[in-house]
Amino acid sequence: MEYEHQLSNLIYDYLLNRFRFGYYQYGDSLPTVDVFCRLFNVSAHPIWTALRRLRADGYIDMKNGRISKVIYKQTEQERRDVVIDYFSQRWTSYLDIYRNSKWFYVPFMIEGFRRMDEKDISYITQLVERADADDVILLYSFTMQKVRNSLLMNLYWETSLFLGYPFAKSGFRPYGYDPELGRQQLRHLVQLVKEGSWDNVRSILLHHQKSVMDRLIVNMEPLIRRIPDQEQISFVWRIYNGHPQVCYDLSYRLLHEMYMGEYRNKEFLPSYEKMAERFGVSVSTARRSISMLNRIGAAESINGKGTRILSTGECSSPDFTSPVIHRNLSYLVQSLELLIHTCEEVSYHFFEHLLPEEREELISRFEENRCFGRGRLSINTYLYYISRYSRIQVVRQIYGTVYGLFLWGYPLRISRGEESAMVQRGVDFTASMIQFMKENKTEQCVAAVKTYIQEEQPYGIHYLEQHGIAEEELRNSAPIRLLIAGE
């Protein structure tokens, strides 16, 4: 039920903006529910929930349980103002995402192309021959789905929604997309995919993204209203959406405080009331978040005493029967894959732009981990500092989310009675990062991070398989996503 509620919220957001951007206009008939089910890859229930909200808000007319017409009216000037306002409110983050999304999507596009068979190539060839703006979105979506990482698809959905991609067919088209030019570039791309010329595929993808971005800036820059930075809408990666997102966010913040922050040297967490006051949430949200920590094995609620923080040597076994545990294990495994494909570019930029005092602070935290035998926390430390000190907002947001997922997985690592090889790997990683950072050896730092993550992923998958959770099950535990299949 919770999952379907989250889906209906995202479907509502998607369709709402299609109305406001003029994709669907007054008098249009909407696609059938069956078509929407295929488009979103969901059952009918969340579709109906979203449609009923749209009817209540005055966007559509539904009679006898059937969709009839769009009743939302806009003048062309009103639609133009909506688009300009939308971009103006997001312009800083907009440029941030555009300039750096290549770090997150191009590697997965190439991996997706590598996994295509002849039928897949035939399908993307059809998309290329049409090559409208929506077809390019379909191409990206279809290609990255081949990697079978639903966390990645969730991220792609969220950034696409933020950038306005699903609304590209509006009457006022700020993208300035040239279908003929796009068709030429993408034909060349498909030919290179057939040849397996992956370096050239990467170059074409980067060139195509840049050309789209350049045209957008040329078209929109003169129209953008200047809004102060503090009033700009920043990109937020919502894995869970709605109230569940608040609970998960709080559980991550509590794990951070338990392992790296204010609570790390304490035996008990504060009361529900005090946590609710400190973090600005309801008492019921605090209770639900603590319940999650109990199930993951990071804490133990004791009647009459409170919630005891379980130390790294006594974390209890997670409740592997819990859907919450399964869901977050899925995200953890997939976040490792996300890091493997993105950490090089992100890490290079991070290290090259660290201020001296920030570098010293990070080294100090690594040394603290080594001193207190917390080498397995060092990868978490590294991710946290990227989420804190990266000069790029979208990187801070994405890696901050991944950091939270890693915190969720830490009790799992501890509870399994770690093998000496994994403990030693954490020790070695910590020592290497201290040495390389002190010597300003950026390439070695980046290599150490990627190697550690590459070694962690298969080990984690093997551990979960030993507890009856197959990799296929983890990949099927999909977060909120939009699998665009065409209309």
pLDDT tens, per residue, the chain with 487 residues: 455 566 788 888 888 888 888 888 899 988 888 888 877 778 888 889 999 999 999 999 987 767 678 999 988 888 888 888 988 999 988 888 888 888 999 999 999 999 999 999 999 998 888 767 677 778 888 899 899 888 898 898 888 888 876 555 545 556 566 777 778 888 999 999 999 999 999 999 998 888 878 887 888 888 889 888 888 999 998 887 655 778 888 988 999 998 888 888 888 999 999 999 999 999 999 999 999 888 888 888 998 889 998 876 666 677 777 777 777 778 888 899 999 999 999 999 999 999 999 999 999 999 999 998 888 889 999 999 999 999 999 999 999 999 988 888 776 665 555 555 677 888 999 999 999 999 999 999 999 999 999 988 887 777 777 777 777 776 665 554 454 444 4
Question: What is the torsion angle, in degrees rounded to the nearest 10, for the CA atoms of residue 79, residue 85, residue 91 and residue 94?
Answer: -40
**For residue 173, what pLDDT is reported?**
59
**For residue 418, what pLDDT is reported?**
52
Report the Cα–Cα distance between both ends of the chain, in Å, rounded.
Answer: 27
d(CA 427, CA 279): 33
**Backbone dihedral angles phi then psi of residue 466, each to the nearest 5 degrees:** -65, -25
The backbone region for 424, taken as left when phi is positive above 0, alpha when psi lies in -120 to 50, beta otherwise, is alpha
d(CA 290, CA 275): 10
**For residue 69, what pLDDT is reported?**
86
Question: To which H or E segment does residue 308 belong?
Answer: strand 306-309
Question: To which H or E segment does residue 68 belong?
Answer: strand 66-70
Per the CB < 8 A criterion, the answer to whether 306 and 349 are in contact is: no
Per the CB < 8 A criterion, the answer to whether 21 and 167 are in contact is: yes
**Backbone dihedral angles phi then psi of residue 300, each to the nearest 5 degrees:** -140, 115
Sign of the Cα pseudo-torsion (240, 243, 245, 248, in order): negative
Per the CB < 8 A criterion, the answer to whether 19 and 55 are in contact is: no
**Backbone dihedral angles phi then psi of residue 302, each to the nearest 5 degrees:** -120, 125
**Structure-block tokens of residue 266:** 């304490």
- Find all residues with CB under 8 Å of 424, minimum gap 6, and list them: none
Using only C-alpha atoms, what is the Rg of the chain? 24
d(CA 361, CA 288): 34
d(CA 125, CA 147): 19
**For residue 419, what pLDDT is reported?**
54
Per the CB < 8 A criterion, the answer to whether 433 and 387 are in contact is: no
**For residue 427, what pLDDT is reported?**
92
- Find all residues with CB under 8 Å of 359, minimum gap 6, and list them: 437
* Dmax (CA) of the chain: 72
**For residue 341, what pLDDT is reported?**
94
